[in-house]
Each structure stands twice: as structure tokens, then as C-alpha cells.
Structure 1
Amino acid sequence: MSEQEIIGKGTWIDKLAHELIQREESLGRNTNLIRVESGLGASGVPHIGSLGDAVRAYGVKLALENFGYNSELIAYSDDLDGLRKIPEGFPDSLSEHLAKPVSLIPDPFGCHDSYGMHMSSLLLEGLDALEIKFKFQRAKDTYQQGLLKDQIHTILVNSEKIGNKIAELVGQEKYQKYLPYFPVCSQCSKLYTAESYEYIPNEKKVRYRCHDVEVGSKIIKGCNHEGEADITKDLGKLAWKVEFAARWQAFDIRFEAYGKDIMDSVKVNDWVADEVLKYPHPHHVKYEMFLDKGGKKISKSLGNVVTSQKWLKYGDPKSILLLLYKRITGARELGFEDIPNLMDEYKEIEDVYFGKIKLDNEAKVTKLRGLYEYVNLLNPPKQPDPYVSYRLLTELSKIFKEDRTSRITKKLVDYGVIKEGNPRIDELIRLAGNYADEFDEHEKIKIEIDSEKELALKELVKILREEKEPEDLQNSIYQIAKSNNVPPRDFFKILYQILLNTTKGPKIGPFISDIGRKKVAETIEKQIG
């Protein structure tokens, strides 16, 4: 790759920011401040995918600043969204609040001013842990302060045109009958049951009826109240099919990514922004959803949520940032079992960044260096942090459960992996220990094993199963390799792959003794069948 072809730091984030700048210039818009937005759901337990939307938007903000522009991330919490279903693990008492805006529902745990703020706070907590900087904007405040009143008026005046376009673009005919605005019913405080059917432009009021509606697969009872709501001061919200467009104009948003699951809403909102509000829609990038290891979409209602809070019990913030900044396209299966790979992969990228690992492909070096800088939020350390293989630490953590930190540190010194302990190693031991305590991970990995190596491994298994331990296991392994015409270095490498899923590690003889010879024999047998 020539220098001319490298954009910024050579990552997809730089390419996206560059496209955004080019588009802004072609539109002739002021670029003194380029705002990017991330929508935060507040109705269910936030997971890594929810976090990813904001983290990636922040990456674009950083790239814009690297290009010399001022930028700001707006984290918009949709806490006027109605509660459609009760998330896994939440009390059934919430059923009486179905269809109410989540910011009007009491927090079942009693620690925030509402259910919606409780959910938002979990996501904000995750962003804070990753040191993501943002301006927080609540939907409840946005509507109560009338920040969208001009956009709501324009949309409602053009509601017939919009309803017809929604039917044409996505086949949804609902908004040919009702207005794309839900007032909160003044009698029962429900949102989706109060459907507005008429707009009075000179009074800026909607007329609505509160009746039974189907939300998801449930019928939610309305209270049959008929009333009027003032769009400038009474609580209500625009339908998703038009609300993004209103926000984009009101907050002057120039970039927002979106998930595959809301493609239809984005298509309609782009048209509303361009044709009704006369505001060029933001630059977009579409991303695929995270799936669980069974290939199902990660969902709050299914209870297969991977939260940042739980992830950070086992992995550090950089493992999450690496996951989210590696790439944006393509669906990915995600689970806590990805943490060991990501922890060790970060170290490999760090070694490339500091020149400890040499690669022939200059384009790849540039991209990995750029990725390392974004994972460090464009503030990389001057020198690498101390590090020990996460997989090695999880294996040692299975052996040493009592007085774990000091005993593992002593072993690492004995192996020659470190010279002495330090707070960073202590933290890695803590994380790997948590992981080892919760997950019994012995996944069979694919390793190329020829007939000579297989014979050597079988001979090693025989020795490991003997009652008496060899006087010098390290030397025995060395001799087994030699007698089977396997270069010792290659034999050690295979053993590291089988035991640690890596190509290097501590002195193999003492390490096998610490794990337990019979346990290692079983692990090797599983690998060679």
C-alpha cells in the first residue's frame, strides 16, 4: 500500500470519517462541529451490541478529530419508548406497566428515578468503564423541553404524504390511518394505546383515542379515553419511522450507524429528513447484529445477553474495544469464551505496534498499528504494559485457588515468564481467575499433526500416565521429539497449542507437572483421538 492510499491510520474507522468529510464538503455544510449520534435503547438490559453502537460512533468522532475537525458524540437514550415485554430476570409486577414510557415506570430495584434510567445507567456505566466521552441526551427531557416541537409540527402537517410514503417504501399501512405521533394517554399513561388520528395545526394539538392494541404478540388494553394532547408541552413521542429524522435536524447530526434490524426505519427516516424536513440525512454505515454461539440474535427477552458488566469481570476494557474496532461488517457470534483470544490478541497487536513482532506486509502493519491506537482511544502508551498469556493464567488459576495471586506470581517467576510481580499482573490474574472459576473451557482446537508428531504425542502420553514421575520431564519431552524425528521446537509448539491454544509459553516440563500429568495426558488424547 502506498502512502497515498493510506487514509488516516489505515482502519475502516478512518475510511468512514473520510467519506463523511467528503460528503459534508459536497453538501457545502459548515464543518466547525461535526456531531455523531448513537441511539441507546432504554427498555431492556443493554448488551455488548448496544454498547457497540456508541463505541463505534466514538471511533468516528476520534478519527474526525485526528483529521483536524471538532466533533461530539450525542448518546441519545430513548427513555420515552414504551415497555413492550418484561426482560428475563425482571419481576412480573412490571406487567402492569406494559406500553407505558419506560421513564414513567418506577425502577423495580429502587436505585434510579425510573426503570428507563436504570437501564440507561447500565449502558452509561459500560461507556464510562471504556472511557468513552459523550453528551447524554434523554428523550424525556428532549420532548419536555420542546426541542423537537418544530420538527413534530412539520411532520404532522405532512402526515398524509408521509403515511403514503411509508406504505410505498416498507409496506406498512398503519400511518395512512393514524398520525406518526403517540401521545401519552392522560388517563392511563400508556403510549402505544393512545393513537392519534387528527392534527390541529393552529393549536398544535393532536386528537387521540386510547384503545386496545397488539404490541409484539400481546394485546395491551387501552382505557377508551378520548382526548387532545399539545405537542409543545404534553408528553408524547414521534414514531420511530420519523423520529430519527427529527433528532438529526434538531441536533444537527452528521453521522449515525445503524443495525440491520432497523433498516426499514432508517430508509423512511432518510426520506423524511431529505424531503419533508429539508435536512440532508446523516452519513450512515450498516452493521450486522451480534449473535450468540448458537447463531441466535442476542436479545434482552431471550436472556442470552452478554453485558459489559459481566464481560469486565473476566476481561479488561481493551478486550471490548478490540472486539468492536476490529471490524464493523459481517455478523459475529459472541460469547464470554471469546475473551481469552481477545486478551491475547491485544498483546500480539501491541507487539506489532512496538516492533517486537515483525511482519512483511506493510499494509497489515499500518492497519494493526492504527487498530492499536483506536483501541487505546488515540492515546497509546509510550511502552507496553507487562503481560502474561491469559490462557496460561487461566490454567494456573485452575490449579491454585487459595492465595491465588501470590502463588501464581511465584510460578511465573519460577518459569522465567516474569522477573517479579506488579499490579498489572495481579489484575490479569484476578480476571483470568474469575474466568477459570466460572468456565470449564476445554474446547478441541484444530492442529496440524502428522504421523511422526502423533507417534511422539502417544509416547508422551504413555510417560505421563506412568505412576512414577520422570526425573527430568523437560528432557524426556526433548528426547521423545528427537527419537521420533520431530524438531523439539515444533514439538513444544504443538504442546503449547494443545494446552494453551498459543504457540509459546513457559518451560513445558514444569508447567505440565503443575497442571498434572494425567490431566495433560487426557487433553492430548482428546486432541489426537
Structure 2
Amino acid sequence: MSDDPISNDLRQAALVSKAWPYEEARKLLKRYPRGKTAKDGALAPVLFETGYGPSGLPHIGTFNEVQRTTMVRHAYEELTGAPTRLVAFSDDMDGLRKVPDNVPNQEMLAQHLGKPLTQVPDPFEKYESFAHHNNAMLCAFLDRYGFDYEFVSSTEMYRGGQFDEALKGVLRAYQAIMDIMLPTLRKERQLTYSPVLPVSPKSGIVLQVPVEVIDADAGLVRFVDQGETIEQSILSGGAKLQWKVDWAMRWVALGVDYEMAGKDLIDSVTQSSKIARALGARPPEGFNYEMFLDEKGEKISKSKGNGLSIEQWLTYGSEESLAFYIYREPKAAKSLHIGVIPRAVDDYEQFRASYATQAIDKRLGNPVHHVHGGKVSQDSLPVTFGLLLNLVGVMGADATEAQVWAYLRNYAPGASAEDYPRLAGLVRNALAFNRDFIAPTLKRRPPSENEAMALRELDAQIAASPDDATAEDIQNIVYEIGKDPHYGFEQLRDWFKALYETLLGAEQGPRMGSFIALYGIENSRKLIAQALDAVPAG
């Protein structure tokens, strides 16, 4: 929680803001009008939780919940000034159900199917277990972003006895939980369903078998394992719970006040909420967000590995642009693939540039307010990321950072990586994006006869431009040529499209005035000459 004082103006604006984090935070304000209190009457932190299943490598969809939940957490702090906590919970006591497609040593993993993930060897041979490996990857990324969170391991909670009282409560409410769950299951599943999954003392596998409660207060159950009837305590790691029951038990044991979930878990939220009430507790507030889709429109899956990895986004775009993309329209399905990164970077920068001059109500609705927790610096960039991509596109796959900065100084005299550290990061992103995705696809087409005439006129006019001609001056030249009926363009966009395809080898592009000013008039004239050389003879 921030120690900074919260202004009354900000609080009043937040109380009526339509930005979704404030709408979510107001649910908690309604839940605790006078703040959350502990059993001793003292003010207690409101507890936010995010859940993570470490059965596959973390991806942006996994990270998304922590980012969005943090935004709601900060909004609640702005509204109330009250203390909060964020728990990142790993369900690493879960059994390995299938071998992920995107990890090594798959034959080895197949030998451990059904065992708790913390008992499955790490296929990367770096950590104590597969869960420890994936948990470490998750925490490393959350740490990189500077999230304020507490990592909690399901295995440690079960085995350490912290869930024991809640587990006894599950056994006491066993029939009530069965009455909630059985109507939601297929008839054949009803015959074997149990809220409790004992860990086999023989194989170490998390068993899916019917269970009989022997003594709820002692935590004793009876079940059959490989033909043998066994009585075993479910306490201190002797069992885990079925997913929906486990979720509800966790809410109760930890005192969770807020947890969001994907749209695919609406049924789970409904059933887990009923179970939490059967256990004598109030389920947390939250909402269901839409899922990210890959470029084929398919749901992103950890086991398939068909989504972007965290490192992929950071190779081609900024950290802030990732958080910005995650903020936008959480209840709308969005594609999440390499192609969305350039637009996300430029949209983020545009919102950031406008933040400083906005009234407070507009600031609270600006995505960057939530990306940065209300602390948005007022620096701006001299060029857009899209313009950078066009620049490195014409420079070729072998372009270097030093060469890019030389061009940038045409546009912003004296510009350096030291003066523009964020731009320095985007230069590296642009070079990587160009190398891997733009350079292999660029193909300049020859201009048509009327396009060639227009290009010759453009060449002549920029050649005659004064040395101090601005990007806007050059843009006006481009406009006037495109509007001149002599060159036969039905619409101005046809002229722009011709410039992009003949000079840049792309279907879309930047403001040409800005590009020419950045690339330099002499270099731009060389591009025009190359295009005109491609015009067929005769």
C-alpha cells in the first residue's frame, strides 16, 4: 500500500469514475463501508488474491490477473487509504494431468502423471520440481515489474497445516458440498466424485476416488487404493481438494476479499461461491474477464504454448505497453500475438503524452494512471514506435542502434540514449521486430505511370526545400501532390498507399513528412530514385 496522502479531489473523482478498476474497487467499499476489521477489532488489510496453476510455463495470460488485480487494489487504496495485501497463490499441490507440449523430457514427465506438481521432477533440470521451476519463472517476472505481492504455495499451506481447520470444515459440510456439486456433474461422474482427493500412500498420486468421512474433527477419511481399504488423515498434506472445493476452502482459510477470473471459470466461481457459503463464509468480490486469443482466434493455453511468452513481448515492445494492453477492455475478447505489439506501444505513448494536461476526472479514466499507479512522469518521445519501425525497415535487417540514433538526430537534434532512456529501449525493440518480422516480408513494388510522375514531383519539391524545413512543411508538400488532379489519385489515401508500397515495401506506414524528416531528404531522394529505377521501360 502507498504511504502517499490521497487528495480529497482525487478521492471524490474516483468515487464516480467509470474506469473499470474504480467500479471494481467500489464493490469492496460497499462490502466494508467502515473498513475491514480483524477478530480483535483492529483494522485489517483487504486481501486480494490471484491464482496460478503451475502445470505449464507462465505466459501473459497468467500474468494478466496480477496486473489487473493490482490495478483494482490501487484504485481501492485511492478510494479509502485503507491497508491491502495481494497474494499470488500457486495451486502446486494439484496433480499433473497431462504433459505440456512445450517442455523437454516429456517421457520422464509422463512417468509422474497424477503426482502433485511439487513432486514431479523439473524437466529443465534446474529446480527441485516442475512446480518450483514454473513458480520461479512467475515470481521472477512479477519481481521484474515491481509488484507488491506475497507468493503462497498450495503445497506449503497443505503440508504446513495452515489449511487444517478449513479442511475439517469441509468434512463437516461434506454432504452440503456434495449437494451443491452433484447436480452439476454427469451421471457417471457422480458415482465417483468426492470433494476430497487423498494422496496415495503407495504411489504418491492424487487419487480421484470416492471418499467416506470417518471423523470430521480428526480429519479422517476412508477410501480404496489399489484394492486396499485405507483410513487416512486429510490434514497436513494427506489430501488436497477438488478444484472448485479447493478454491472455496482457500477463500475461507485466507480470508480472500477480491479475486477475478476468466470467463471460462464463471461456473467455477458460481459453485465455489455456494461452497464458501456452506462453509460459513462470504465469497469474495470480483468479475469475469474475457479470454485472450491467439492469431487464429483460439484460446491461449499453457499446455499448448500457443500464446505469447512474457519474454517475447519484452523483446519487441516495452513493459509499459504490455500493462497498457492488459488494462484495456477486460470484458472484451482480444487477440494476443506479435502483431498487436506495435499498436499497443504507440497507443500507450499517446495516452501517456496527454496525461499531464488532463483534468483529474480524465486522468482517472486514462489507462496510464492505472498502469503506473497514479505516478506518471511527464517525459515524451520525439518519434512514434511506428515511425521507428518504418525507419529500420528501410535501413534493412543489419541496421544498428548507432545508425538509428544518427537518423534520430536529424529529427531531434542532440538526441541520445542517455537523454531518452525509454526511446533507447524502443530502438532495441524496433530493431528486433524489424529483424524477425519486417525485413523478411518487405517487398517494394514498381510505381505505376501516374505514381512515377507524382514521385518525380515529390523528389523535386523536397530537393528544393530549405534546410530548416519541418516535418509539417514536408507533409504539406505530400498532401498537395496527392490532391493535385494531374496525378490521377481518386482519393488522398491512394497516394499514401502508393508511397508506402513503392518506397517502404509495406501496406501501411507513417506520416510521410515525419518519415522524410527523420530519414533525411537526401536518403529519401535515394529511395525515390530506387523506386523510379524499377519503372518498366517504355
TM (norm. structure 2) is 0.80
Q: What is the SS of the residue equivalent to 1:107? A: coil
Moved more, 309-318 or 168-177: 168-177
Distance in 2 (alpha carbons) for counterparts of 1:471 and 1:114: 67
Aligned to 1:391: 386
User: Is 1:513 paired with 2:524?
Assistant: yes
What amino acid sits opposite 2:94 in the alignment? D
**What displacement does 1:299 show?**
1.0
Residues 395 and 253 of structure 1: CA distance in aligned 2, closer, same or farther (over 3 Å): same
What do the CA deviations read for 1:251-290 (whole angstroms, capped 9, x no partner)? 111000011122222111101111x211111012111111
Moved more, 167-176 or 82-91: 167-176
Aligned to 1:365: 362
Q: What is the SS of the residue equivalent to 2:32? A: helix
Distance in 1 (alpha carbons) for counterparts of 2:20 and 2:13: 13
Distance in 2 (alpha carbons) for counterparts of 1:9 and 1:187: 57
Distance in 1 (alpha carbons) for counterparts of 2:337 and 2:218: 53
Aligned to 1:87: 100
Aligned to 1:500: 509
User: Is 1:374 paired with 2:370?
Assistant: yes
Aligned to 1:49: 61
Aligned to 2:425: 427
User: Is 1:58 paired with 2:73?
Assistant: no
User: Is 1:33 paired with 2:45?
Assistant: yes
**What displacement does 1:89 show?**
2.5
- Where do 1:262-273 residues align within 5 Å? 262-273=265-276
What do the CA deviations read for 1:472-522 (whole angstroms, capped 9, x no partner)? 468684663363389x99999776896435687333684773894488799
**What displacement does 1:426 show?**
2.4
Distance in 1 (alpha carbons) for counterparts of 2:382 and 2:188: 58
What amino acid sits opposite 1:88 in the alignment? D
Residues 37 and 28 of structure 1: CA distance in aligned 2, closer, same or farther (over 3 Å): closer
Contact 2:17 2:23 in 1 (8 A): no
Distance in 1 (alpha carbons) for counterparts of 2:74 and 2:513: 35
Residues 86 and 505 of structure 1: CA distance in aligned 2, closer, same or farther (over 3 Å): farther
Distance in 2 (alpha carbons) for counterparts of 1:165 and 1:519: 73
Contact 1:73 1:135 in 2 (8 A): yes
User: Is 1:143 paired with 2:158?
Assistant: yes
Match of 1:286 among 288, 308, 312: 288
Name the count of aligned residue pairs.
487
Q: What is the SS of the residue equivalent to 1:254? A: coil
- Where do 1:92-491 residues align within 5 Å? 92-93=106-107, 94-169=109-184, 174=189, 177-193=192-208, 196-210=211-225, 223-224=226-227, 226-274=229-277, 276-355=278-357, 365-369=362-366, 371-381=367-377, 383-398=378-393, 399-402=395-398, 404-414=400-410, 416-417=411-412, 419-423=414-418, 424=421, 425-440=423-438, 459-461=450-452, 472=462, 477=478, 480-481=481-482, 483-484=484-485
Q: What is the SS of the residue equivalent to 1:507? A: helix
**What displacement does 1:341 show?**
0.5
Distance in 2 (alpha carbons) for counterparts of 1:147 and 1:269: 20
Distance in 2 (alpha carbons) for counterparts of 1:3 and 1:80: 41
Distance in 1 (alpha carbons) for counterparts of 2:335 and 2:392: 27
What amino acid sits opposite 1:434 in the alignment? A
Contact 1:347 1:387 in 2 (8 A): no
Distance in 2 (alpha carbons) for counterparts of 1:514 and 1:84: 61
Distance in 2 (alpha carbons) for counterparts of 1:267 and 1:25: 25
Contact 2:396 2:439 in 1 (8 A): no
**What displacement does 1:147 show?**
1.2
**What displacement does 1:170 show?**
5.9
Match of 1:77 among 90, 94, 100: 90
Contact 2:193 2:209 in 1 (8 A): no
Contact 1:200 1:206 in 2 (8 A): yes
**What displacement does 1:209 show?**
2.6
**What displacement does 1:165 show?**
1.5
Residues 24 and 481 of structure 1: CA distance in aligned 2, closer, same or farther (over 3 Å): same
Contact 2:193 2:208 in 1 (8 A): no
Distance in 1 (alpha carbons) for counterparts of 2:95 and 2:26: 37
Residues 241 and 407 of structure 1: CA distance in aligned 2, closer, same or farther (over 3 Å): same
**What displacement does 1:82 show?**
1.3
Contact 1:352 1:365 in 2 (8 A): no
What amino acid sits opposite 1:128 in the alignment? D
**What displacement does 1:430 show?**
0.7
TM (norm. structure 1) is 0.81
Distance in 2 (alpha carbons) for counterparts of 1:141 and 1:177: 28
**What displacement does 1:409 show?**
0.7
**What displacement does 1:9 show?**
5.9
Contact 2:14 2:364 in 1 (8 A): no
Aligned to 2:472: none
**What displacement does 1:176 show?**
6.3
Contact 2:221 2:231 in 1 (8 A): yes
Contact 2:194 2:208 in 1 (8 A): no
What amino acid sits opposite 1:42 in the alignment? P
Q: What is the SS of the residue equivalent to 1:242? A: helix
For the aligned residues, what is the CA RMSD?
A: 3.7
Residues 354 and 247 of structure 1: CA distance in aligned 2, closer, same or farther (over 3 Å): same
Match of 2:31 among 7, 15, 23: 23
Contact 2:198 2:240 in 1 (8 A): yes
What amino acid sits opposite 1:295 in the alignment? G
What amino acid sits opposite 1:12 in the alignment? W
Distance in 1 (alpha carbons) for counterparts of 2:350 and 2:449: 32
Contact 1:177 1:197 in 2 (8 A): no
**What displacement does 1:404 show?**
0.8
**What displacement does 1:411 show?**
1.0
Residues 331 and 88 of structure 1: CA distance in aligned 2, closer, same or farther (over 3 Å): same
**What displacement does 1:292 show?**
0.9
Moved more, 97-106 or 500-509: 500-509
Contact 1:273 1:279 in 2 (8 A): yes
